[in-house]
Copies of this chain bind each other. A is one copy, B any other.
Amino acid sequence: MKEKKIEFPTRQDLLDARIRIADMVHNTPVLTSRLINEMTGAQLFFKCENFQRMGAFKMRGASNAILQLSDVQRSAGVVTHSSGNFAQAVSLSARIVGCPALIVMPENAPDVKKSAVRGYGGQIIESASTPQAREEMAKKTLSETHGSFVHPSDDIDVIVGNSTAAQEMIEEIPDLDIIISPVGGGGLLAGTALAASYFSPETDVLGAEPTGADDAFRSLRDGIIHPSIDPDTICDGLRTNLGQWNFPIIRKLVKQIILVDDNKTIEALQLIFERMKMVVEPSSAIVLAAALSNPGVFRQKRIGLIISGGNIDTTILQRIFTT
């Protein structure tokens, strides 16, 4: 896929988003762990989006996009396709502003995910489970409802909304040497990189990606977007590929993608669980795993870790704690 020429969001765009969504999201805490600092020889700052509303940073991007719809657009509703956190974030954001949320989900999505969406007031539209079927069903829904489509990661308003997590962290914790964000669809990493570029330009932004879903690593290396084919990772939020809006931002502003094996991610998740008493998703624990696996690189550095969410699947939980 070719790289799209896009105009980057401005510093003011990022600041505006923060004010726009202020009543819709929590300013989540930044936590630290003495023991994990000792283990890494670094100073780690955990930006806890697992404590965000609906349990993940996705609330930031979804609310920033939906709040910019006109009244007419809102009355027609918002449409997205997602079986994960973004589906819940759109449902909750839409409910708060009083507009319908139509969520295209694979018919074989787990019941627990469907219930979560319904619990936030979203309406589920089932599709076959291939990406193509999902996109066609979204198009069909859009043409029938004249609703507005919001992409989970490849949408400028979503990216700018996501940037507010790093904005808050940078304000609270100055002089970070590095920020590490997970990279799946690329919306969080792009938003994080934008925030750092405007508000803490000396800070390097790195992405952490599973070895078994290394499309962003390959895309950055080759300068073109590689699709994510047959991803094999416990990080269920990181199986998607970059998109035309976030790739140019990531390519320009992200210093490096660190690949992380799932077993290291599981160890990091257990460490956060046991020592910080926090529930995080594997897709979030990967950022700590990146730091633990590369002690030489990170020693004595001040490192911000974007802990993207805490909505962990029970089956994954069982796998992690029965091994």
Closest Cβ of chain B to A200, distance in Å, is 25
Contacts of A29 in B (CB 8 A): 29
Closest Cβ of chain B to A206, distance in Å, is 24
Partner pick for A277 among B34, B310, B314, B317, CB 8 A cutoff = B310
Interface string of A38-52 (1 = CB under 8 A from B): 000000000000110
| CB-based contact B322/A55 at 8 Å | no
Contacts of A280 in B (CB 8 A): 277
Interface string of A268-298 (1 = CB under 8 A from B): 0000011111111000000000000000000
- Is A318 in contact with chain B by the CB < 8 A criterion? yes
**Contact A317-B321, Cβ < 8 Å, known A277-B50, A277-B51, A279-B279:** yes
Complex: chain B residue closest to A26, CB-CB: B34
Within the assembled complex, what's the spacing in Å between the Cα atoms of A55 and B274? 9
Closest Cβ of chain B to A300, distance in Å, is 24
| CB-based contact A273/B279 at 8 Å | yes
Within the assembled complex, what's the spacing in Å between the Cα atoms of A279 and B269? 12
Within the assembled complex, what's the spacing in Å between the Cα atoms of A243 and B252? 66
Closest Cβ of chain B to A52, distance in Å, is 9
Complex: chain B residue closest to A273, CB-CB: B279
Residues of A at the B interface (CB closer than 8 Å) are 29, 31, 34, 50-51, 53, 55, 273-280, 310, 314, 317-318, 321-322
24 contacts between A and B (CB under 8 A): A29-B29, A31-B51, A34-B53, A50-B277, A51-B276, A51-B277, A55-B275, A55-B277, A273-B279, A274-B279, A277-B278, A277-B279, A277-B280, A277-B310, A278-B278, A278-B279, A279-B279, A314-B321, A317-B321, A318-B318, A318-B321, A318-B322, A321-B321, A322-B322
